[in-house]
Amino acid sequence: MLDNSTFDYKPHLKSAYIDPIRTVTVIDDEYPTIDDLISPTKDSFSQDNISRLKDIIDISRSEEYNWLLDVYNGKEKKIQEGTVSNR
């Protein structure tokens, strides 16, 4: 019988925590969202941030993972006061 000090957990970590992932949300105000990219008044984003985001997209779309990916900048749209009830 194996005890905890000799048991190899690594193969089980991937199957328990990585394999079940189907969607990924990247939240970072320095990455352009799809809305930002198609907006006629695009903000300028650094090429480094765009490159890092492309790497994340490539990994997410690879056959190994095939994750659905969304990029969110963390900014809430302001709503008109009084149009939503207080919680």
pLDDT 10s digits, 21-76: 899 888 888 888 877 777 766 667 788 888 888 899 999 999 988 999 998 887 77
Q: Is the pTM of this model over 0.75?
A: no
Residue ranges of domains in the chain: 20-72
What is the pLDDT at residue 9? 85
The stretch 6-10 carries a mean pLDDT of: 84
pLDDT at 79 > cutoff 60? yes
- Find tokens 């765009």 and name the residue: 50
Q: Each residue of 60-81: b (16+ CB within 10 Å) or e?
A: beeeeeeeebebebeeeeeeee
